[in-house]
Structure 1
């Protein structure tokens, strides 16, 4: 017997309809590619998304055709997002920082019919368009520009297209498991792989990240998603923002520390989200500008382990709560968020602070386990000490990659994340390392993450990475790659001495290499693969 309740499919179009109806005058602030600012609101975003849905319909596209976006976080991109998914098409967000060969592969693999791009990326699009046989329409996400036409005569302009259309559009009531959006993994090994989200998974994920025990989003907030919309859909925040009706500040291409500090202070941002490299730049800029970041109550750190020293600085200097979170493209992305439980407030401040270093616990909708092997079957103890392969299952977790016939799960139905981690009895997750980044020295494991967290705590170090370097006797030994702070005179001996009372002697890196620039990928993550290729033989060479 079924319950006597209405059934309505969980659709992305419901989110923008809700925001328009109940939060229409809530501000959406957008920095454009030329640096100018646009202030709009949820009502105007919704109306323009309907206009653009009419544009897409006029192209004769079929249900679930792919529409690619290569764009920064801005209001036009947000409008296009809702138009694409809401009309039954698939919004394929693409990382513009990938190599042209990877972009060509991704667009052709997805069979994108339309490519929408910010003016910033015109040279890139012109250089690859001849290699994109499936693309029927190219749209510049801007107003008419004769200079663009000169180099790309067949291009269409977003503002011109929507100006010709009505804002009357009835969102189709598609099936909730219909695909809504497509993101490709970063492709550090082999070609990138597509992860295809559904309307249902996206709406459920939006509920989960809005909860107080998760990212704690509400209509009171002004959110700054520094994480790009092409990076796992800006961690789902543009969807959750419409769900709760909060204000959004979209930073465009200006992601440097000074620009972000100015946006936070001018628009009274309460909650910001980004990777650790972004926050390092923000903290430096706030110090240099004398800003107290008064409005900023929370910042979410994901994409890589957050250095403990960063949590300390945000808390003690800026009274800002740093929320450590974990996830990946295949998990939509949120799999764990670090919020304390009631019992933890009985702990000392130091004990609470130590708990903040973990990646947190899973919200309702996902389950985590630690397994003895990648293919699962044997679950290890949740004692906070026993490390194993981190695996996940839930309502917004991948089961297979786009266009691939093979199952992406273990034999008993879990997704193996590639991380080595521990779980405690409350479900708090501590990532020990990526399985490929663990250092096996003389049969013993050394965590690169632990070594990095110690090094980044030194006041004269800006960024670090620890890699496994090949060793004639011990197979592998840790080597620290570090970028000094400006004007620092720190030496290799200083760094090695800094480790002496913080970790076992045999785990201290064998060598410190100072570099001027760290290799950073398209999503702001540090590229250890490049460092391993460059420095992996340094101990053998010595």
Structure 2
């Protein structure tokens, strides 16, 4: 039967054409190593995208070739996103915080042909270049005046290449299921795995993310994505902002600097931003020390790790900013759930109950199906009590890892996320742990995440981690590691007493160790694997 509707392909090319024609005057503001406040419009950006597409062709790149980036959030990285994907190639964003051995592995595994690298990251690649046999050359994201001295072979200056290229370029048409981007997991166990996004998955993800009860971006917004563009497409904000015409502010290498973030928010009138909890702690610390405010800022999206209620409460009560949590992962493009606007039913609840929901991961967005299962793969009810392994499926969920020999999905076609959670009757997701991090003590499960959230709510605690350590009597007991705020002083007894009345008595950690810092993965998450390895022989106090 013939379809009565057109079958236009959902591609990033379509998004680019729309943004250039409809939102061409909207600004992109960037902080870069060679310019503290670069400005251009979407129209100007896409002209440069066409120049870059001609450069890619001149470099010998063809459709389905993979092009790597090591870069911050700025206008040049934005241009690479569009020029590469819209030319039918694959944009492979690399996390520069990975170990050199991991970078070497994923560049070779992805079969990257060229690497576009920020001037501040050139030294990272120099010792690796001879171990990257398929890489034909490097392009440094700089103008000629700021090109660094480098031993990289076949190296070019980005701006010099663009200056010689034409603005005329006819982008190819292709199927919406064509791969557009590649991102690797952080590889906490084994080698990192590649997730290959398509044009279709990216566009559908954008449609979902701009919905009013999710990011809620509109033409009236100025958004500042602090989540790195090398991590899961920067949560797709560099696609969703042009889709709706939101002004885009890119903090470049200053994404963790509270003073710069405050200046950008106030001077560019930022209304919405997105980043991991540590970023917002840095901003709060600067606001507290300086006495400044962020009057234009309306809402923040937090992801990548559970957000302590203290952050949510401080932004809400002191700065009138809403903090909204999201949950997802590289394999979900990354959006899975979002804790956006409350329904009238929830708004009628007592404030304490609303606050409990604020620290949840929110509800599944349309397009993502989630379920929880027990150890025998039996589906569990959403009753606010049953807790199980979270599985997902949907049009922007990974179907198979890139060039991977193992099994990605279960026999029923669901992806096991590795998280443990319960859902309440309203559909709110409450992550209780990662499968590999859950603690089983005396036959009962203990949530390390809930203990960590409780610990960091203490006013003297900067960061906390909880891991299960072997115990002679209870099989495992939770060990608490704490980083104190500067100038703070706590005893172990005082710290453990903080849990009284907040969690079940048998949940209270068996001991507390104060440390100067905690190990993190390349994506900024606590590295529980390293902590467990360091404290595997911990001597428990006599009971």
Pick one of 338, 343, 357 that aligns with 1:355: 357
Q: Could you tell which deviates more after superposition, 479-488 or 179-188?
A: 479-488
CA contact (8 A) 2:140 2:147 kept: no
For 1:54, the equivalent position in structure 2 comes to 54
Compute the TM-score of the two structures, normalised by the length of structure 2.
Answer: 0.97
CA contact (8 A) 2:122 2:150 kept: no
CA contact (8 A) 1:222 1:249 kept: yes
2-structure distance, mates of 1:50, 1:306: 40
- After TM superposition, the runs of 4+ consecutive aligned structure 1 residues lying more than 4 A away are none
Shift of 1:189: 0.2
CA contact (8 A) 2:399 2:409 kept: yes
Task: Give CA-to-partner distance per residue, 1:214-253, whole Å, 9 cap, x none.
Answer: 1111111111111100110111110111111101111111
CA contact (8 A) 2:34 2:142 kept: no
CA contact (8 A) 2:67 2:114 kept: yes
1-structure distance, mates of 2:154, 2:333: 35
For 2:216, the equivalent position in structure 1 comes to 216
Shift of 1:541: 9.2
Q: Could you tell which deviates more after superposition, 523-532 or 220-229?
A: 523-532
1-structure distance, mates of 2:2, 2:472: 67
Residues 351, 210 of structure 1: alpha-carbon distance in 2 compared, 3 angstrom cutoff: same
Query: Which secondary structure does the structure 1 equivalent of 2:363 belong to?
Result: coil
Residues 430, 20 of structure 1: alpha-carbon distance in 2 compared, 3 angstrom cutoff: same
For 1:289, the equivalent position in structure 2 comes to 290
Task: Give CA-to-partner distance per residue, 1:439-495, whole Å, 9 cap, x none.
Answer: 111111110011111111111111111111121111111111111111111221111
Structure 1, unaligned stretches of length 5 or more? none
Query: Which secondary structure does the structure 2 equivalent of 1:440 belong to?
Result: strand
2-structure distance, mates of 1:457, 1:147: 46
CA contact (8 A) 1:69 1:115 kept: yes
For 1:4, the equivalent position in structure 2 comes to 4
CA contact (8 A) 1:274 1:300 kept: yes
Shift of 1:33: 2.1
Q: What are the within-5 Å matches in structure 2 for residues 418-437 of structure 1? A: 418-437=418-437
Compute the TM-score of the two structures, normalised by the length of structure 1.
Answer: 0.97
For 1:299, the equivalent position in structure 2 comes to 300
Q: Could you tell which deviates more after superposition, 516-525 or 118-127?
A: 516-525
Q: Could you tell which deviates more after superposition, 523-532 or 63-72?
A: 523-532
For 1:484, the equivalent position in structure 2 comes to 484
Shift of 1:410: 1.1
Residues 541, 399 of structure 1: alpha-carbon distance in 2 compared, 3 angstrom cutoff: farther
Aligned CA RMSD, in angstroms, stands at: 1.5
Query: Which secondary structure does the structure 2 equivalent of 1:499 belong to?
Result: coil
Residues 504, 102 of structure 1: alpha-carbon distance in 2 compared, 3 angstrom cutoff: same
Q: What are the within-5 Å matches in structure 2 for residues 329-340 of structure 1? A: 329-339=330-340, 340=342
1-structure distance, mates of 2:34, 2:385: 51
Task: Give CA-to-partner distance per residue, 1:90-149, whole Å, 9 cap, x none.
Answer: 000000011111111000000000100001111111110111000112100111258635
Shift of 1:312: 1.0
Residues 498, 150 of structure 1: alpha-carbon distance in 2 compared, 3 angstrom cutoff: closer
Query: Which secondary structure does the structure 2 equivalent of 1:122 belong to?
Result: helix
Structure 2, unaligned stretches of length 5 or more? none
2-structure distance, mates of 1:346, 1:3: 46
1-structure distance, mates of 2:146, 2:253: 22
For 2:263, the equivalent position in structure 1 comes to 262
For 1:279, the equivalent position in structure 2 comes to 280
For 1:388, the equivalent position in structure 2 comes to 388
Shift of 1:540: 5.3
1-structure distance, mates of 2:5, 2:89: 29
CA contact (8 A) 1:277 1:525 kept: no
Residues 147, 153 of structure 1: alpha-carbon distance in 2 compared, 3 angstrom cutoff: farther
For 2:449, the equivalent position in structure 1 comes to 449
2-structure distance, mates of 1:14, 1:425: 39
1-structure distance, mates of 2:541, 2:494: 23
For 2:18, the equivalent position in structure 1 comes to 18
CA contact (8 A) 2:129 2:152 kept: no
User: Do structure 1's residue 368 and structure 2's residue 370 form an aligned pair?
Assistant: yes
CA contact (8 A) 1:149 1:155 kept: no
